[in-house]
Structures are given as structure tokens and as C-alpha cells.
Amino acid sequence: MMVPKAGVVLISDPFLKDPNFMRSVVLLCAHNNEGSFGFVLNRPYQQTLSDFIPDLEGYEVPLFYGGPVQPETLHFVHDIPDLTEDAALVASGVYWGGKFETVMKKIHDRSLDLRRIRFFLGYSGWSQGQLNEEMEQKSWLITAASPQLVFKSKPKQAWADAIRQLDRNFHEIVNYPIDPQLN
């Protein structure tokens, strides 16, 4: 069984009731002695990036809810190794961050394929040992992150797509109701 580390995707248990993470898929970008950090991949905002950055008016750049921590901060992940300097390799073909000014310039001159980058408001964070405790409580399943899962999965399908990456024994949980008492 995989363990939490940078470059994995956390898949919420089908019965997890926390509204921040119900049926969520989280790209884990860091996991160390200080805590854990990542972004919810399957919660799009109804607003676009231009709603928050007026300089991007006229550019339809999708925006995602990264998590409940510091929702006023902006982050991005991408699959373009030479997009910007200072990007951190998180998983094979998946990078986090870099120089935002460079990304803005590439958006303006329309040289950036927006299907290869995702922007997030806020992030998901766990204090030291917290994610390990949640793993012991079986709140999360883990699979490897991939550009396919991070960038190409449709938000409504990402949870099911991530489950399907697991051992076949897990595939049936895709069909579990959110609240089995209502079944």
C-alpha cells in the first residue's frame, strides 16, 4: 500500500463527511515532518482567474478550489517543465509553482496551453502527523499522481478516475452512495 508523500493523489473515502473533502481528489505536493500540503483537483470555482486578476479580463482561465487553508492565496500546477524557473517537480510530469509573472506573460501572448495548467485558490494543509492519523482512520486512499489524472480528468469524473487507478478490489466503491442510510 502506498504511503503519503509528495507526488501522490489522496482519494477521499466514499463516506467522508467533511464538506471540504467529500469525494475529493488531492494532489499532495509536500509531506514531511512539518506537515502536508496539496490541492483539491476536482472542485472548480464558478469564477475564472480573470474575476480575481483584472489584468486577465477577456481570458477564460479556469480556477479551482485548492482547499480551505488561506483561500486568498493563488497557486498553480502544470505539466510544462520549462514553463517557468523555480517550479518544483512534484511527480513525473507534474510541477508546482514557479514565477507567476512569466505565466501571466504567456497567458497574455496566448502561448500557454491552458489545458496544461491549473490555478487554485487556497490549499489543503495538514499539521505534523495529522494526515498520518487520517490515514490510520482510513479517511484516504492513495494512488500515484499523473499528468492524465491531474490535468485531463474532468472535475466531476476525477474521483472515479482516481479510484479506477487503484486495485480492482476498490472499483466498486465508485458506485457507493454518499450517504448509505439514504439508499
Residue ranges of domains in the chain: 8-182
The reported pLDDT for the residue numbered 168 is: 80
Q: If DSSP codes are grouped into helix, strand and coil, which group holds residue 33?
A: coil
Name the CA dihedral angle for 47, 49, 50, 52, rounded to a multiple of 10 degrees: 80
Q: Which amino acid is at 94?
A: V
Of 3.40.190.10, 3.40.50.1370, 3.40.1740.10, 3.40.640.10, which CATH number belongs to 8-182?
3.40.1740.10
> What's the rounded Cα separation, in Å, for the pair 4 and 24?
16
pLDDT band at residue 2 under the 50/70/90 scheme: confident
Of 39, 7, 3, nearest in space to 123 by CA: 39
Q: Which amino acid is at 80?
A: I
Cell representation of residue 53: 486578476
pLDDT at 34 over 60: yes
Q: For the ranges 26-30, 49-53, 76-80, which has the lowest average pLDDT?
A: 49-53
Global model pTM greater than 0.85: yes
The reported pLDDT for the residue numbered 179 is: 61
Of 116, 140, 117, 125, nearest in space to 71 by CA: 125
Cell representation of residue 48: 475564472
